[in-house]
Amino acid sequence: MKTILRFEFDQQLFPTEYTGNRNVVLEDASHVPQTGDAVDFQIEQFFSDPKVIEAYQDMTEGQLLIAERLNTRYAKDQVEILVILYREDIFKEQFPHLFAQAAL
């Protein structure tokens, strides 16, 4: 069985004219983040557009990205897990009860 881990960004990371992939997809990842886990990427390994790379660096400057494990979809031969990434300040604002759990 194959596991697909798909990361989506809560923040607008992509310029209007950008036509490429808008998420990070990993197949058979060795770790699946849980809600409240910090996540970071070597973003240049996933996107080549300099505007996207710069937007990611700006978004994460002085901020962690915090995961919300949103959904798991099962099929006969694969599992797809959707994780939404929020800047730490937004995660704290939107999910104060989850942040309190994650800080324990």
Taking the domains of the chain in order of start, what are their residue ranges?
2-102
State yes or no: pLDDT of 23 exceeds 80. Answer: yes
Q: Average pLDDT over the chain, rounded to whole?
A: 91
Q: Is the pLDDT of residue 104 over 80?
A: no
Burial of 83 (0-12, 13-18, 19+ CB in 10 A): buried
The mean per-residue pLDDT over the stretch 79-86 comes to: 97
pLDDT at residue 76 is higher than 60 = yes
Residue 64 pLDDT class (50, 70, 90 cuts): very high
**Which pLDDT belongs to residue 103?**
52
Q: Are 25 and 6 in contact (CB under 8 A)?
A: yes
Q: How far apart are alpha carbons 4 and 78 in whole angstroms?
A: 7
- Closest by CA position to 78, among listed 28, 7, 21: 28
Residue 26: how many other CB atoms lie within 10 Å:
15
pTM above 0.75, yes or no: yes
Share of the chain above pLDDT 90, in %: 77
